[in-house]
Amino acid sequence: MVRALARAVAAFNAQAVDFNWTPVFSFSAMELRKDPITRSWVITGDDLPGSSAQSSSECLFCGDSAQVIAVAPNSPGAPWSARAVVHPNPLYRIEGDPGRRGDGIYDRMRSIGAHEVLVENANHDRHLWNASDEEIGQFLCLASERILDLKRDPRIKYISLFKDYGKNAGQEFGHPTSQLAATMFVPRRVLYELRAGREYFLSKERCVFCDIIQQEERQALRVIEARGDYLAIGPYAPRVPYETWILPRYHESSFERGGQNRPALRPNLAALLRRTLQRVRSITEDFHLVLHTSPSSQHPSKTLGYWKTIDDDYHWHIEILPVVGSKVKSYTFKEVYYSPVSSETSVKQLREARIGG
């Protein structure tokens, strides 16, 4: 895998010349710094305005110019269905030494890792809400395979799969794409979930997500749709209006392992993802989507200790955070989330949205 990525990086460098891409920042300009209080890593440095990518007008992902890392099997009538390519402006790079070091009480390191673009479909206008379930299933399989592969790199602690769609959500490319970031640290929100899941399990010997699913299915107040073994719900305490989670109804900590063990269930997940995004799009075009799955088990952290029970106390899920123009209380943003539509109201609206198929 490392060799494949090194090849891909080399080819990306060659391609960078062809396509006249200017890196957003030079590798040395950005670094990772750890907040000593919350223990969260941030990427920081001087990303000078005007230095962002300049590209030709043609789509980088429609043609054969992007450097391919992995390809999902063909869908009928398409040259390929989904594929992973090197990000043209990676935030994390595979080569080099992290150079992790102390700076007094502080911690810093270079942004070593991997940053890939997952091209969801060969077709420029087939998105996760209007593609076929088979195509979406291929994309989900590709995502599982890429996560499993990146987890084999002993330096990598976590792999984030995310998608930003719409101009208010920081969409980067016109083509239907998601992104994968493999990092040497576990991102903040996932770390909170891992710690909380572990604490809950220690006191109750149950998975907090399984308990949430059980109560939501019993109360049926915030269930948007159930499809086979998957469930879409509005969380009890939403961070933004219309926040939606998709979870497996059975206990499974790892999305990628679940995909391997239960391939026959993927059509249900593909359909639920497609239908849920159609519902969200009945409210707003712009959204963030993120997959939360278990971290690499190659990295037992002695201080956190969450790896010991992770298969029992963590439960993978997809979070969709729509971006709606509302009465934003900016001062509370990220300090105390302010969501001016209740989960019960938003679920009712999403449930009743007119969606196709």
| Amino acid at site 76 | P
Measure the CA–CA gap between 12 and 65, rounded to whole angstroms.
10
Nearest to 325 by CA among 285, 275, 276, 352: 285
Residue 111 vs residues 66, 106, 234, 259: alpha-carbon distances, Å: 22, 16, 34, 29
Measure the CA–CA gap between 73 and 86, rounded to whole angstroms.
19
Q: Judged by CB under 5 A, does residue 251 bind Zn ion? A: yes
- Which residues ranging from 45 to 74 are in contact with Zn ion (CB under 5 A)? 59, 61-62
Q: Judged by CB under 5 A, does residue 329 bind Zn ion? A: no
Order of strands across the sheet that contains 230-233:
68-71, 83-86, 113-119, 177-183, 158-165, 287-292, 317-322, 244-248, 230-233, 223-227
Give 209 or 306: the residue with its C-beta nearer to Zn ion.
Answer: 209
DSSP-derived 3-state class of residue 131: coil
Q: Judged by CB under 5 A, does residue 204 bind Zn ion? A: no
Q: In 10 A of CB 123, how many CB atoms? A: 17
Give 94 or 128: the residue with its C-beta nearer to Zn ion.
Answer: 128
Q: Judged by CB under 5 A, does residue 210 bind Zn ion? A: yes
Closest approach of Zn ion to the CB of residue 343, in Å: 15
Give 59 or 223: the residue with its C-beta nearer to Zn ion.
Answer: 59
* Burial tier of 111 (Cβ tally within 10 Å: 0-12, 13-18, 19+): buried
Give 108 or 189: the residue with its C-beta nearer to Zn ion.
Answer: 189
Interacting residue with Zn ion among 122, 131, 191, 207 (CB under 5 A)? 207
Q: Judged by CB under 5 A, does residue 209 bind Zn ion? A: yes
Give 94 or 122: the residue with its C-beta nearer to Zn ion.
Answer: 122
Closest approach of Zn ion to the CB of residue 210, in Å: 3
Q: Judged by CB under 5 A, does residue 315 bind Zn ion? A: yes
Interacting residue with Zn ion among 126, 163, 175, 281 (CB under 5 A)? 175
Interacting residue with Zn ion among 7, 101, 124, 329 (CB under 5 A)? 124
- Which residues ranging from 292 to 311 are in contact with Zn ion (CB under 5 A)? 292
- The footprint of Zn ion (CB under 5 A) covers 59, 61-62, 124, 175, 207, 209-210, 251, 292, 315
